[in-house]
Amino acid sequence: MSAAVTEKTAPSLRTGAFGNARALACRECGNEVELGPSYACPDCFGPLEVAYDFPVVTREEIEAGPPNIWRYKALLPVPVDIEQSPNTEPGFTRLLRADNLARELGLEKLWVKDDSTNPTNSFKDRVVACALSAARELDAKVFACPSTGNLANAVAAAGARAGIRTVVFIPSDLEHPKQVNSAVYTDKLVAVDGNYDDVNRLASEIAGEEDGWAFVNVNVRPFYAEGSKTLGYEIAEQLGWRLPDQIVIPVASGSQLTKVDKAFQELIALGLVDDRPYRIFGAQATGCSPVSVAYKADTDAIRPVKPDTIAKSLAIGNPADGIYVLDICRRTGGAVEDITDDEVRDAIVLLARTEGIFTETAGGTTVGVLKKLVESGQLDTSLETVVINTGHGLKTLDAVSDRVGAAATIAPTYDAFVASGIL
């Protein structure tokens, strides 16, 4: 992590550029710095996140807002006129009662928060919307990201809609559909020979050397990460302004899981939901499971790994928020679990054939871990549970293409159909 970014002079900001945000606060030492393109504490190099002076916010005010993440704009680092700026307007995705899957797994009440219906078919549209707002307010000239795929799709689409120059960096072996889904929006898709951690290091170096670049998950990461809170807000609102008993969340960098917890804590502090216990579980693929390994070893020491899994959107071998994931899962009575690639494939098919939801490999990982948590007794089957689907299966067709297909190939006659045994 380069400290050079924090040493750059912050541009002058218009009044209310970041809404009710007060400062950037270090998650390690609590030191606060001015709002700007900083992501590391100048004193201890700990990660920075947005701190707020929230006004009184009511359920009625939120419910009167638009059917997207800007209904929560008072709780995000965005200006009050955010709807006036071109954006992809993600969020307020469906929360589906999943009775068929619940019966299959032996759960009493299960919901799927389906973020595959966002504009570029993944939850990344949420974080990018907040990052784009920050990039505008910071007068950035280039909108960019290192990505395992979904983020590249979201950045490329949002940049195109905003009319800002966009450059996205991806591992060269990324799934072809995800490459196409980015390249269709931008002619500045850069494939890097290396894994995500190599791509991220390159992005951090560019952010430290170049002025005017807003890397959404590097030098404007504190603002970007706040977009993930909206998942937590929506789940609570869609449940009738209450928190679920248990929630299972995929873990790549770990930011999504930590921000859903932050959202729940903020809703409690603001009096928008009752203060009650909830458990958070993290899901990883065994081929890239440094946080799960640390959890099972009962240690805070997360050893970086070289990813080897089909769940490429979770393939971050050195997760920035891993230590915070461990803390939250332990504090709430949850856990971190992992499953093999074959189990990921099985879970993709299971979700599709029970609930009609085609998830990508990250969602397969989450559903597969949900199943494993039930079987191992780590998850209470009598409690209400929410599982998050973060992306659409059309992005990772190869994962299950050899497992599904036509049940039979027949001549176009009734006799042939009867003979096929399908009846």
CATH topology identical between 95-121+222-400 and 123-221? yes
d(CA 238, CA 232): 10
Q: What is the DSSP string of 32-58?
A: EE-SSS--B-TTT-PBEEEEE------
Say if residue 173's pLDDT is above 70: yes
Res 8: pLDDT: 53
pLDDT in tens, 349-391: 999 999 999 999 999 999 999 999 999 999 999 999 999 999 9
> For the chain, what's the residue count?
423
**Predicted local confidence at residue 175, as pLDDT:** 87
Per-residue pLDDT tens over the stretch 258-295? 999 999 999 999 999 999 999 999 999 999 999 999 99
Q: What is the mean pLDDT of the chain?
A: 94
Report the share of the chain in percent with pLDDT over 70: 97
Structure token pair of residue 130: 């907040």
Give Cα 184 to chain centroid, integer Å: 22
What pLDDT, on the 0 to 100 scale, is given for residue 11?
Answer: 65
Nearest to 224 by CA among 158, 141, 318, 323: 158
For 22-69, the pLDDT digits (tens) are: 999 999 999 999 999 889 999 999 999 999 999 999 999 999 999 999
Model confidence pLDDT, tens digit, residues 312-324? 989 999 999 999 9
CATH code for 95-121+222-400? 3.40.50.1100
Tokens standing for 75? 């709780």
Separation CA 51–CA 37 (nearest Å): 15
pLDDT of 300 strictly over 60? yes
Residue 10's pLDDT is 58
Q: What is the CA radius of gyration of the chain?
A: 21
The 10s digit of each residue's pLDDT in 155-169 is: 999 999 999 999 999
pTM of the complete model beyond 0.75? yes
pLDDT for res 9 = 57
pLDDT above 50 for 6: no
Domain spans, the chain: 95-121+222-400, 123-221
Specify the fold of 123-221: Rossmann fold (3.40.50)
What pLDDT, on the 0 to 100 scale, is given for residue 14? 86
Question: Both tokens of residue 97?
Answer: 């009662």
Most confidently modeled range among 145-149, 173-177, 267-271: 267-271
